[in-house]
Each structure stands twice: as C-alpha cells, then as structure tokens.
Structure 1
C-alpha cells in the first residue's frame, strides 16, 4: 500500500499564493510593450542594425589588438578569481562558525555587503583609486567574488560531516589539524567546483567591465560602438564568444577530472 503524500502546511500555500500574486502584479505594473517588440518595424530596424556588423574587421593589426585585449580579459578573470579564493577562504572560516557565533554573524554581514554590490559598481568605485585599466577591473572581480565564494565556502564547511572532526579532537589532535584532515577534505571538491563556476562567470563579467574603462575586450567594444564602427565591434564580440566558449570547455574538462 502506497503511503499517503505529505500534506502541505497552510504557510506553504500562502507563500505560493504570494509569489503568484507578485508575478501577476509585475506583469500588470510594468509597461511591457510586446506588440511593439514583435512588430514589423522593430524587426526591420533590428535587421538593419545587425547588417552593419557584417563583415567583421579581419585586418592583421586589428586582430593583434583583439588578441592582446583577449589575453588581458582572461588575465583579469583568472587573477580576480584567485584573489577571491584567498579572500573567500579567509572569510569562510569565521563565517562557518569556527571562531564563535559573534564573528560568524559579523563575517556573514561582510560577505553580504561584498556580493550585494555588482562588479560594475565596484569597478566604478575602484577606478577613482586605481585609475583606468585592468587593475580596477581585477580588484572589482575579486571584491564581488570574495563575497560569493566566501558564502559558498562557509556553507560547504558547515555542511561537512562533523563526526570525523570530533573523532580527531577526542583523540588529542589540534583543532587546526582536525580541520585540515577531516573537514576540509570533505568540502574541497565542492569548493573547487564553486571556484571553477565563478571563474566562468568572471570571464563574462571581465568582458563587460571594460564599459566603465577597466580594460580588456569590454573597453574595446565600448570604444568602437561609441564611434559606430560596427565591423570592428563585430570582431570584438566574436573574440568574446570564443573566449567564453574556450573557458567553458576548460572548466567542464576540469570538473570532469575532479569528479572521477
């Protein structure tokens, strides 16, 4: 005999009803002009705009500039992610309650602040101190991603099975040794997966940060679009797509290797 399905509590139904009402209110309050978006005039204007991107600029000097900007964008994302891993690990330990409840709450507040500020805002703020160029973009990626990875790392450490850690402590091991030999090995695969995923996101973010002058492909894209040099912009966009595809493939291969 099949067991009866669990009954949903009244609070669950109220929450689902509130979410449905919020979605309905969003559609009712926003001026979404779907008719104009799918009109023949909109399709004609879009097609005319896209025709300006063809053919892409393939001159050797310009391709070399794109190659250098691609390397700069890749370096920004890699270095920003590396700094974020270091900062996230440093903040994850107190955020996971390793030093008491008061440091846990304070550190999680810091992590909330770091990740609630978008990369573009961080870059705009850091441009004042670091000036135009990739340094501000790298630090912006590191600041935002530190908040994201710190929270994810802390949750992974908190969700680790506590019995091995307690067993080592009972047998006389130091707290730090118990952490490195019992807790960290459990959370490490998940933490590596989070790091690779955020690196993929930072590639896309680094390409956009150039819009505010943080270097890389984004800065080239903004420059050529502002001058209506659409064919040059098309080449920059293709470089962005190839870079993202390359990093996605590398990240997928690394995750496959780590989960074997």
Structure 2
C-alpha cells in the first residue's frame, strides 16, 4: 500500500500585521486620552444657538451686479493660480522624478528624493508666506507656492510610477541598441502617462481649494476677498464669496472626473 500523502505544513504566522494594528489602536486611544475634547460643549444648546445666529448673518448673500463682477474676477484669478501652479508642478515634478526613479544612479536618487521630501513637507501657506516677502502681494507668490508644494508631491508620485513600470519593453529596446534615455521615453514613459495625468488632475482639484485658502495671507483671489469681508463682518458679501468657492470646486471636480474617465477608457 502506498503511503498517505502528507499534508503541507501551515504557513508561518506573521505577527507584523497584528503588531501594526495594535500599535495603531494604541495611538488612537492615546490621541483621545491626551486631547481636551469637549464633546458636551460642542453639542450643547448654547453652541447650537450661537452657530445658528452666526450662520443667519450670511443670509441673504450679496447679489449686486458690481460685487458679482468683482467676485467673478477673483474666481478667475483663483482658477488661474491653481491651473498655472499645477502646470509648473507637473513640469518640474517630471524633471525631478527621472533622477528620483534611479535613472542616474543611487546617489542622485537619494538627493532628489530628499529635495522632494522638503518641497512637499512645507505647506502651501508657509511657502506663500515666504514668497510674499520676496515677490510682494498678489497671485504670483501664491502660484509659486502651489507649484513648489505640488512639485514635491507629484515628483514623488511620478518617480514611484516610473519605478513600478514594467521594465521589459525598455530592456528590449536597449538590447537592440537603442540609447537608454531614448528607450525610456519610448517604452517606460508611455506606460505611466495615464497614471501621471490622473495624479496631476487630482492635485489640480486640491490646488483649487488651496488657492482659495492662500488668499487669506494676501495671495489674491477669492481667499483674499473672503478674509477682507469677514474681517469687516460683511457676512452677506462673505457668503457670496463662499458660494463662488463652492461653485468653482464643483465645476473643477466635474471636469477632472470627466477627464479621468476619458483617460481610463
């Protein structure tokens, strides 16, 4: 009689996932324990009354023709800041992503990734505050701030996409005598372009919101109008600016969603 087949040994149990989950739960519990969270005051009747009175001051929004024209100009300024800042970030992010993906060796890869970490770790508001000193008030420093921060984000995402691309097409071209950079632009880059475009569109959506916030520090656009009217307690005008922000974000979200659908077909 033949011997009974032996059952395969069970795979070794990995404790790293369980340890990570427990550490995450401990961090969440420590966060709740260390922060002074006053949920009772937040949901009290006094808080609800105060919020209702504050929001009631925004109605009705200002609909005068002159103010609507001024708001439309600021809306276009905010849109231009976000679009140009994202375009600059795409260009410089791609230029930095090539060495960050290891195309020129390990040392340039490490140095460029440190630069990308610095660019994206500094928030847009901090970039804008620094650049306002150098370039003065207006949309120009806000655009540069968006470009600097977003270049760090997109450069890292683009570099990861390039490193994760299938290497076989490029290797085949290089085996047949094609120069390394030419093989990269003809084989590897086309694989990652749809993913890169999706990343760029998503960051454009984020930059719309960031551009509106940057106006608070004097970078122009809807944010600057909002800060001005709120500081003077002109709530109806502030409500119009907030509605313009919501409309702009909704339009850009819809356009970005449609473009991503076209890219993934």
TM-score band, normalised by the shorter chain? over 0.9
1:81 aligned counterpart, secondary structure: helix
Aligned pair 1:251/2:256, yes or no?
yes
* TM-score under structure 2 length normalisation: 0.95
Q: Distance in 1 between matches of 2:135 and 2:203?
A: 24
**Equivalent residue, structure 2, for 1:12:** 17
Alpha-carbon separation, structure 2, partners of 1:56 and 1:105: 52
Q: CA RMSD in A?
A: 1.3
Q: CA–CA distance in 1 between the matches of 2:238 and 2:50?
A: 18
Distance 1:110 1:20 in 2: 33
CA distance in 2, matches of 1:209, 1:5: 56
Runs of 4 or more consecutive aligned structure 1 residues displaced over 4 Å after TM superposition: 3-8
Deviations 1:32-68 (A, max 9, x none): 0000000000000000000000000000000000000
Offset of residue 18 of structure 1? 1.1
Asked if residue 238 in structure 1 is aligned to residue 232 in structure 2, the reply is no
Q: 1:124 aligns with which of 129, 134, 155?
A: 129
Quick one: distance in 1 between partners of 2:11 and 2:166? 28
Matched, 1:190 2:195: yes
Displacement, 1:116?
Answer: 0.2
State the distance in 1 between where 2:207 and 2:76 align: 14
- CA–CA distance in 1 between the matches of 2:10 and 2:66? 67
Partner in structure 1 of residue 65 of structure 2: 60
- Residue 122 to residue 164, structure 1, CA distance change in 2 (3 Å): same
Between the aligned partners of 1:216 and 1:7, the Cα distance in structure 2 is: 58
- Residue 140 of structure 1 is matched in structure 2 by 145
Aligned length: 258
* Structure 2 unaligned residues grouped into runs of 5+: 1-7
Unaligned runs of 5+ in 1: none
Look up the match of 2:219: 214
Matched position secondary structure for 2:36: coil
Counterpart CA distance in 2 for 1:137 and 1:8 is 52
Distance 1:115 1:55, change over 3 A: same
Matched residue SS, 2:178? coil
The 2-side partners of 1:105 and 1:259 are apart by 32
Partner of 2:82: 77
- Pick closer, same or farther for the CA change 1:172–1:221 going to 2, 3 Å: same
**Could you tell me which residue of structure 2 aligns to residue 152 of structure 1?**
157
Equivalent residue, structure 2, for 1:179: 184
